[in-house]
Amino acid sequence: MSARSGGAKVAGMRTVTRDVVLGVCAVSLALLACKKDKSSSPGVEATGSPRGGSVTVTGDQGSIKLQGGAEGGTVSVEVDGGKVELGNSGGDCKAGQPCVCSAMGNCTKSCAGAGCEFTATGMGNTTFKCPDGKCTAKSTAIGNVTLDCKGGGCTLECSGTGNCTLTGCTSGCKVKCKGVGTCNCATGC
């Protein structure tokens, strides 16, 4: 997949962009919503903006919403209130605010300041960066989790299925491991 084209190319085949995939999904979902009960009046709503867009398909049994162009190029699928994000994500976090990686894909979050509370619940590899220290990271994720704590005084708790690693710690760091994978602390623990 090319970051520039936003699509995947297989030898001898055309490039398929995210917009084409969303369009095909929207039409497919609309047909599925209409199939169950011909007497219901399902609806399809499409919105767009320079930063992304969404398609909502409503049928007699509920609704499905596909949204593209979110942070990090993710696509989210929302079904009657439940939401799943697909794709890589990232961003900055501040102490006192939720800082969560919950998507199906790789995630990188950085703490702007000290004392962030990171949470990993998704499926994919997760990297948390804490340059000023005193951060905590808790993981129940399926995938590897890394907490890079250059400022020291960080805690990493893992009960997921991947490997957990605390790196860059100068001193005062702790690792607690309850999951299936291994836990490592290279320095400062």
Domain residue spans of the chain: 7-86, 89-185
**Distance (Å, rounded) from C-alpha 65 to C-alpha 33?**
12
Q: What rounded mean pLDDT belongs to the chain?
A: 77
Section 154-177 average pLDDT: 94
- pLDDT tier for residue 46 given thresholds of 50, 70 and 90: confident
**Distance (Å, rounded) from C-alpha 114 to C-alpha 51?**
31
Q: Which candidate, 123, 179, 186, places its Cα nearest to that of 149?
A: 186
**Backbone phi and psi for residue 25, each to the nearest 5 degrees, phi listed first:** -60, -40
pLDDT tens digits along 67-108 = 666 455 666 666 766 766 777 888 999 998 889 998 888 999
Section 132-159 average pLDDT: 95
- Model pLDDT, residue 92: 94
Section 120-140 average pLDDT: 94
Element (H, E) at 64: strand 62-68
pLDDT tens digits along 2-33 = 333 344 433 443 444 555 445 545 555 555 55
The CA R_g of the chain, rounded to the nearest whole Å, is 20
Note the pTM of the prediction, 2 decimals. 0.64
**Distance (Å, rounded) from C-alpha 100 to C-alpha 85?**
12
Q: Is 22 helix (H, G, I), strand (E, B) or coil?
A: helix
Q: To which residue do tokens 């398909």 refer?
A: 57
Please count the other Cβ atoms lying within 10 Å of the Cβ belonging to residue 53. 15
- pLDDT tier for residue 151 given thresholds of 50, 70 and 90: very high
pLDDT tens digits along 114-124 = 999 999 998 98
**Distance (Å, rounded) from C-alpha 112 to C-alpha 132?**
8
Please report, to the nearest 10 degrees, the dihedral formed by the alpha carbons of residues 162, 167, 170, 172 taken in order: -10
Section 168-183 average pLDDT: 91
Whether 163 contacts 183, CB under 8 Å: yes
- Tell me the two tokens of residue 102: 């919950």
